[in-house]
């Protein structure tokens, strides 16, 4: 049985993690993203105790580590914007699904968490066919360049690609676990199920209160659009060699751009992950910033509890 102080510590850490994003949480959300296996009854009891003691704050049913009611107003306004943006996100995913070697498309980022600002991008997580990631990515980013002509580039922020033959994420931490937990599959839910299954062994340890259900029905997803013609043609043009050549070319161009912007090279491999089975394009290296912030907060919390 988890003791009261351990539960309170876990709650504080969860609230602080989301507070980095100015995101107060409802009780069900706290339970879902808390890193300790606890019952909802115990969680609700701890929340009430902590709120009564003043170690956390409750406002309009939301909980937060500091009293910032304006964050709740922001969240509620952001939820309305996110709801409006979902139709456009689904349309973007539908277009991406017509491209060669796209196995699955999921909505990610803040939109997958039900929040959007006035300037939010539509972030998309894409699973590709085996040994075709860089062909797929190159074709999609060539298409994205055309979206600048009509101001739709923010609707196609394809910043994470993963090869379906190697879907276990290497960065196994609260940041990536939260991202996986909140993905919204739009095209090929079966492949999303496989993604969760590939990562389930470590996800259950990071977020134990989530039901990582991978026992869903299997659906046959038909290929869409011009990919029916393009894939057979690309598959007879030394695709593995082409895939690796495009990876190396992209990596070379990214490294030159990274140096030109004078970003620290020691951060490149995490922020701009470029391997045959994964492409991550996060030049601001948000994961590192968030985790550093969270670790600092955890140390302060540990000193209290």
Give yes or no for a contact between 255 and 263, defined as CB atoms under 8 angstroms apart: no
Domains of the chain (ranges; CATH) run 4-67 (1.10.10.10), 79-250+277-284 (no CATH)
Give the pLDDT confidence of 178-223 residue by residue, as tens digits.
999 999 999 999 999 999 999 999 999 999 999 887 665 556 576 7
| Angstrom distance (rounded) from CA 273 to CA 267 | 10
Residue 91 has pLDDT above 80, yes or no: yes
C-alpha dihedral over 46, 47, 52, 57, to 10 degrees? 150
Residue 290 has pLDDT above 90, yes or no: no
Give the pLDDT confidence of 212-257 residue by residue, as tens digits.
876 655 565 767 678 989 999 999 989 999 999 999 999 999 999 8
| Angstrom distance (rounded) from CA 255 to CA 135 | 19
Whether the model clears a pTM of 0.85, i.e. scores above it, the answer is yes
Give yes or no for a contact between 104 and 191, defined as CB atoms under 8 angstroms apart: yes
Q: Which residue has the higher pLDDT, 118 or 105?
A: 105
Residue 159 has pLDDT above 70, yes or no: yes
């Amino acid at each position: 049985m988890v003791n009261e102080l351990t539960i309170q510590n876990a709650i504080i850490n969860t609230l602080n993690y989301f507070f980095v994003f100015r995101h107060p949480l409802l009780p069900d959300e706290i339970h879902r993203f808390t890193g300790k296996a606890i019952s909802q009854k115990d969680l609700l009891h701890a929340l009430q105790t902590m709120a009564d003691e003043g170690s956390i704050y409750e406002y309009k049913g939301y909980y937060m580590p500091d009293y910032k009611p304006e964050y709740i107003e922001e969240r509620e306004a952001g939820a309305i914007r996110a709801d409006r943006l979902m139709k456009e996100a689904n349309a973007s995913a539908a277009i991406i699904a017509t491209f060669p070697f796209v196995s699955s498309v999921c909505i990610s980022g803040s939109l997958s968490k039900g929040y959007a600002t006035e300037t939010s991008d539509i972030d998309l997580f894409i699973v590709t066919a085996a040994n075709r990631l860089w062909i797929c990515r190159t074709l999609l980013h060539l298409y994205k360049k055309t979206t600048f002509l009509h101001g739709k580039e923010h609707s196609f922020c394809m910043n994470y690609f993963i090869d379906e033959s190697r879907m276990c994420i290497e960065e196994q931490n609260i940041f990536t676990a939260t991202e996986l937990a909140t993905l919204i599959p739009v095209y090929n839910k079966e492949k999303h199920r496989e993604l969760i299954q590939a990562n389930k062994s470590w996800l259950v340890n990071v977020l134990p209160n989530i039901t990582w259900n991978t026992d869903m029905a299997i659906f046959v997803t038909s290929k869409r659009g011009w990919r029916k013609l393009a894939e057979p043609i690309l598959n007879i043009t030394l695709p593995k060699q082409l895939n690796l050549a495009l990876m190396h070319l992209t990596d070379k161009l990214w490294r030159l751009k990274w140096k030109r912007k004078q970003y620290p090279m020691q951060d490149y491999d995490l922020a701009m992950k470029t391997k045959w089975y994964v492409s991550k394009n996060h030049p601001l290296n948000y994961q590192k910033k968030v985790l550093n912030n969270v670790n600092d907060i955890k140390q302060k919390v540990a000193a209290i509890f």
